[in-house]
């Protein structure tokens, strides 16, 4: 087993802090964008697949179910996302349902945007550290 040098420990701590900050920012953005999606959907007489494709968050969900992404669905998904992101403050727990898995996927997609936007030097395996294995 390798011994952890002070430099390596400092780098690991920095990586953990960067990832925690990116997750925190991504959580706020995800919730804000879901509110925007809901507001946009409420203005429509009928929600189409094109409307969903043009949304901030709902566009990241499986497109084959886009005809089911109504205002009510978006509101319920917002609650799931808020609950899931809030729970992350207490430590990692596996998603308890498909909706939480989808919300986590949306959150981690947003972390990638944050990483690119702020040019964060996250570890190459940050997604696995955050619980994502498909990146």
88-113 tens-digit pLDDT = 888 888 999 999 999 999 999 999 99
28-72 tens-digit pLDDT = 999 999 999 999 999 999 999 999 999 999 999 999 999 999 999
Work out the pLDDT band at 12, boundaries 50, 70, 90. Answer: confident
pLDDT on residue 14: 87
Nearest to residue 46, comparing CAs of 76, 64, 66? 66
pLDDT on residue 127: 79
Work out the pLDDT band at 13, boundaries 50, 70, 90. Answer: confident
Q: Distance (Å, rounded) from C-alpha 24 to C-alpha 108?
A: 11
The answer on pLDDT for 1 being more than 50 is no
The distance from CA 81 to its chain's CA centroid, rounded to whole angstroms, is 8
- Give the tokens for residue 69: 């992404």
- Give the tokens for residue 5: 């040098």
Percent of all residues in the chain with a pLDDT value above 70, rounded to a whole number: 88
Q: Distance (Å, rounded) from C-alpha 71 to C-alpha 43?
A: 10
pTM: 0.85
pLDDT on residue 135: 41
> In a 3-state reduction of DSSP, which class is residue 66?
helix
What are the residue ranges spanned by the domains of the chain?
7-126
pLDDT on residue 125: 83
């Amino acid at each position: 087993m390798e011994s952890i040098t002070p430099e390596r420990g400092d780098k690991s701590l920095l990586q953990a802090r960067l990832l925690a900050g990116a997750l925190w920012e991504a959580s706020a953005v995800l919730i804000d964008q879901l509110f925007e999606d809901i507001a946009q959907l409420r203005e429509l007489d009928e929600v189409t697949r094109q409307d969903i494709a043009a949304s901030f968050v709902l566009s990241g969900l499986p497109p084959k179910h886009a005809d089911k992404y109504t205002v009510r669905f978006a509101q319920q998904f917002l609650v799931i996302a808020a609950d899931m992101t809030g729970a992350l403050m207490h430590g990692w727990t596996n998603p308890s349902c498909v909706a939480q898995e989808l919300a986590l996927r949306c959150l981690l997609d947003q972390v990638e945007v944050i990483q690119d936007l702020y040019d964060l030097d996250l570890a190459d395996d940050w997604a696995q550290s955050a619980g994502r294995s498909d990146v």
